[in-house]
Structure 1
Amino acid sequence: MELFTIRGGKPLSGIIPISGSKNAALPIIAATVLNSGITRLYNVPMIQDVLNLCEILRLWGSRITVDQSAHAVTIDNSKLVIQINETIFGLVRKLRGSILLVGSILAKFGSLTIPLPGGDIIGARPLDVHFDGFQSLGAEINQTGETVTLSVPKGLTGSSMVLKEPSVTATENLIMAAAGAKGETTIRLAAIEPHVQDLCRFLEKFGVGFDGIGTHWITILGKDFSSWSQDIEYTIIPDSDEAMNLSALVAATRSEVDLRGIRPEYCEAGINKLQEIGVNVSLVETSMIFRKPTSGYRAAKYQCGLYPKLMSDQIPPFAVLATQANGVSMIQEWMYEGRLGYVTELSKMGANAMILDPHRAIIVGPTSLRGAELKSLDIRAGMTMIVAGLVAEGETTILDAQIIDRGFEAIDNRLRAIGADIIRSSK
């Protein structure tokens, strides 16, 4: 188990470059399965989830070169052979994003058997939206215990479908499957998050036709990928979720920090919320510039919604900011019923906080936080604990820091570069 030890209570200063998007990198790497040629990806975040997905492909015969310093990944899938063994089973179980391999493998090879994936435990997150969509495209599905077999004996055929809910991973998975289907596929109530749009732009490089990118009604014109091979290069978008998480960190610690390399159009809701609270932040081209606040912060309602609203992965660290604001703040997390566990952890530090039900919590501020031993319950909760540790007086220990590594690249090193007292150790 990895630990972070933080001594907080000090302002930070400097520049933090924003990483490439985790939630774009995973589906885009999965989509490279469609290409038997060489795909070169840039601005790839060097996080554990990305490395695990690359390792699954490598075990299937992909030749993969990872240049961590350049944030580049080169993938040659010309020798790819899909098979399941105990090693791959273990990797898939650790990585919920591995479900994204299903759509591209069905489109390229026509069948696969895969264990049900793992990942963060922050809600039920059923896969029925994925499977309903695959069946609409002609897939036959058989689940035996923790293993699912999918096949398309007659090939994938374009169809019109309405999703039960605008699931991001289901939308991405079905887009990849539809990319290899005969004819035209229409997906209504599709997710429109920035990383969904980035996947579509990537697949356009593969010759897939799209209409309605960035809308809830998207049309995909598929093509035959059975022997398709091209050399492709693509640069992944910056991570707007990381930008918002770090924005909460900078604001909560009342620091003077520049976040560099954002896409402003993807961060509009977060910037508006920060200004509503009273955070001294300005936007200059692709940078968010934070300066010392000129007055106290105001309480606010943090309600996750569908893009372009504040999204579920962006909100948790704002709970720490709420402890420093004047008044009663509410967090409303309608998407995942298990996500608010970080509120209980904040209470260990002296936060005046209460979980009202599985989807709502209130936080009364301002309160002084004190160091404590905390759990990293999931990626975003872990980041929330880092923010709390930097705000708190005294020493904070965060358990299971390796969970944070799944979503944030070298976060301890990046925070030390702006003056944070954070040390990594193993237990």
Structure 2
Amino acid sequence: MSTTSDFALRAGQYVGLAADRITFRGGQPLNGHVEVRGAKNLVTKAMVAALLGESPSLLRQVPDISDVNVVRGLLEIHGVKIERDNESGDLHLDPSNVERAHMAEINAHAGSSRIPILFCGPLLHRLGEAFIPDLGGCRIGDRPIDFHLEVLRNFGADVQKLPDGIRMHAPRGLVGAKITLPYPSVGATEQVLLTAVRANGRTELRNAAIEPEIMDLINILQKMGAIISVDADRVIRIEGVDRLVGFRHRSLFDRNEAASWASAALVTKGDIFVGGASQPEMLTFLNVFRKAGGAFDIHDDGIRFWHPGGELSPVVIETDVHPGFMTDWQQPLVVALTQAEGVSIVHETVYEQRFGFTDALNQMGANIQLHRECLGGQYCRFGQRNFLHSAVISGPTKLHAADIEVPDLRGGFSHLIAALAADGESVVSNVGIISRGYENFISKLQQLGADFTVED
């Protein structure tokens, strides 16, 4: 087994390039201990929230992933001074000298990230204007920014679409608004929160997302001086305040990464202790994991996941917004379900094109059929729209080696664990994309006993 010590850095710099390749020699269980730090879906938004404060902030347990580096670059070109303790993951953010950034600089630093849209509210409060470039992100379905733009218009922003991006002005400041989302979008909910806390007056948001990462962002904003209440019926109310201060906060653990390592233990017939994971945020995943035949043990400092032996069981899953089964959990788990005895069904209701990663699994010997029909009992936005958004997985099927190109973040991790479970040598390319959300995944695989070689 071999790797290169600077691979994580190179992957962060060259996300999406096919030159990043790993050769895996599969068939060995993954055993050992890995640590997960702050959630990608929280820490990047918390960094943006620091823009709203009049004093420095401290964010703890920040993972070293490329999405964090993108947001750091965007903050720094806007004048935020940032220092990082690499060992602890502590991030110090000082927004005392926020300033306008040049359009070319924003374009250069944004890369494929979709985070820049969330800069708009804070920058409108601080500078009276904001600019965002065309947005990227994983190609797993339609992620329109219309929700975001309409939200900002409701607060009083003047939004202008330009050939190279979108410019916004708020010369008279922003005012509270009454907003109802057509779908409980996480990104749109974050947009409302980051904009409403400094807006003049009250804001009411209906049909809001209530994911744990959203609640942790609310915790951060409350520490900064915001006044926010959350009702059980997905209604969030915010009273705007004149000023906010910095925060000190330990970020919520990354439950997506934790679930990915759990699936890796299951598909390779291994035993992995995920340090930093906790039960409440993973309740729904743990139920499905147990139904599929996996075993777990809850500890104060993490969760142990393992394959207890015997046959895995088929399950029926419908992804949904919280507290449902997360869409980011299904891709790694689908790999494990290829080894279950019988037929599993996964109905994807969040992203309409999230099953593209199954092509590679079928190439490796899996039996996965995709359907346009809604193979589930709950309401689905994608019904009768010709999207292949339901999967039928028949198993068990023996996986064999293949050459694979990573399509997106979660699908990419799924390909890695499929290659580790397959017989023979698999070559996985475009692996840099995985560094968007998995900190030091190469060294973690090494810790777990994976057999692989990194190629330039």
Normalized against structure 2, the TM-score is what?
Answer: 0.90
Match of 2:134 in 1: 116
The root-mean-square deviation of aligned C-alpha atoms, in Å, is 1.5
Match of 1:404 in 2: 434
Distance across 1 between alignment mates of 2:299 and 2:101: 49
Alignment of 1:340-419 (within 5 A): 340-357=355-372, 358-419=388-449
Match of 1:336 in 2: 351
One-letter code aligned to 1:300: V
Q: Deviations over 1:295-346 (max 9, x none)?
A: 2101112221111111111110011111110111122112222211111111
- Runs of 4+ deviating beyond 3 Å: none
Match of 1:9 in 2: 27
Q: How many residues align structurally? A: 423
Distance across 1 between alignment mates of 2:46 and 2:147: 20
Match of 2:225 in 1: 207
> 2:117·2:148 contact (CA, 8 Å) conserved in 1?
no
Distance across 2 between alignment mates of 1:202 and 1:103: 16
Distance across 1 between alignment mates of 2:167 and 2:116: 15
* Other structure's SS at 1:210 match: strand
310, 317, 333: which is aligned to 2:325?
310
Match of 1:324 in 2: 339
Change (3 A) 1:88 1:214: farther
> 1:264·1:286 contact (CA, 8 Å) conserved in 2?
no
* Other structure's SS at 2:410 match: helix
Alignment of 1:43-122 (within 5 A): 43-122=61-140
Alignment of 1:24-35 (within 5 A): 24-35=42-53
Gaps of 5+ in 1: none
273, 281, 288: which is aligned to 2:288?
273
> 2:321·2:350 contact (CA, 8 Å) conserved in 1?
no
Is 1:176 the counterpart of 2:206? The answer is: no
Q: Deviations over 1:227-271 (max 9, x none)?
A: x5x453111110111111111111111112211211311100000
Range with bigger deviation, 291-300 or 306-315: 291-300
Gaps of 5+ in 2: 1-18, 373-387
One-letter code aligned to 1:131: L
Normalized against structure 1, the TM-score is what?
Answer: 0.95
State the identity as a percent: 30
How much has 1:197 moved relative to structure 2? 0.7
* Other structure's SS at 1:341 match: coil
Q: Deviations over 1:265-305 (max 9, x none)?
A: 11000000011111122223342223442421011122211
How much has 1:131 moved relative to structure 2? 1.3
One-letter code aligned to 2:127: F
Q: Deviations over 1:378-415 (max 9, x none)?
A: 10011100110111111111111110001101101011
> 1:304·1:311 contact (CA, 8 Å) conserved in 2?
yes
Change (3 A) 1:249 1:215: farther
Match of 2:453 in 1: 423
Distance across 2 between alignment mates of 1:302 and 1:5: 32
Range with bigger deviation, 394-403 or 151-160: 151-160
Distance across 2 between alignment mates of 1:400 and 1:100: 27
How much has 1:110 moved relative to structure 2? 2.3
Match of 1:221 in 2: 239
* Other structure's SS at 1:354 match: strand
Distance across 2 between alignment mates of 1:184 and 1:85: 32
